[in-house]
Homo-oligomer: A and B are copies of this chain.
Amino acid sequence: MLPELKLAPLRYVLAILDSGGFHAAAKQLHRSQPAVSMAVRDLEERLGQPLFEKGGGKALLTPFGRWCEPRFRELVAHHDRVCRDALAIARQQRGRVDIAAVPSVASRLMPALLAGFLEAYPGIDISLQDGHSERVNEMVLKGEVELGITSLWLPDDTLRFDALLHDDIGVVCRDDHPLAQQNALHWRALKPYTLIRNGTSRLLEGSPAAELLTHSTLYISNMISLTAMLEAGIGVTTLPRLAFQEEHQRLRFIPLATPRLERRIGLLRRARQSLSPAADAMYGYLLTQLAGRISLKR
């Protein structure tokens, strides 16, 4: 029923109008003049009406041609717009990534990383939200974000995990605490003191130090509150080094030596689903930026 109007002949027609003739259009299009003539004739046959006046020497539109011209222009412009946008996205010059990260990474690592990414890929919009590791996991799984930066990953067939860095677990206490002068600790050294559990405490599970958790009666999820407790000297806690905020003058971080514990922080994405070009750019960027820094030592 509907003949298929190819875009090239439409361009030919527009070029003829813009350049004022078949010959000029052919040159502009890097085609031979017969190619233009034949394409136009074919188009006219498809439509069943001539577009150009046959009489005179110059290329003049018929009334039907005049009706067609603006529509052809719009259609070609529409094509070019779609094409340009698609290419910009494909080439990672535009787009959007939604990522999620655990709070420590979001606040400690992402600022510098995102600054670099924004510079390397201007035009890509970024949305970063934080959540505890299970929440990050869930957001990736449900497709709420394309990428997650998290630890504590239970092997899952539908998710893919790329390790980025290892983060040592240690003890945090006030600088006047008896443990504060140590360089490394055995877990039993903590037994005498009040242990405040927090969202990262489950990292101790499965290790000898897990016994400490059973004797702990205080759980604080919020990091601000937790540091306030520690500054008040209420007790000590365990934290990954990255989650320890160095800005606090009176708090000290002492690595656990026995058992040596660490969390693996890595990039999470859906396994059998490719990333958007923008997310792919972010993925590659994060991998290369954090490639060398297997462990966090400062």
Contacts and interface: CB of A to CB of B under 8 A. Distances in A.
A202 interface: no
A64 interface: yes
A90 B47 contact: yes
A7 interface: yes
B55 A272 contact: yes
Contact of A79 (B8, B75, B90): B75
Contact of A5 (B3, B56, B83, B146): B83
B6 A86 contact: no
Nearest to A48: B90
Nearest to A54: B274
A50 B273 CA distance: 12
Interface string A51-66: 0011110001011100
Interface residues of A, number: 45
A79 B48 contact: no
B272 A63 contact: no
Interface string A266-289: 000000111111010000000000
Nearest to A3: B83
A187 interface: no
Given A50-B274, A274-B62, A276-B67, A78 B75 contact: yes
Interface of A: 2-8, 47-50, 53-56, 60, 62-64, 67-68, 71-72, 74-75, 78-80, 82-87, 89-91, 146, 272-277, 279
Given A2-B83, A50-B274, A63-B273, 10 more contacts: A3-B83, A47-B87, A48-B91, A53-B274, A54-B274, A62-B274, A63-B276, A63-B279, A64-B274, A74-B78
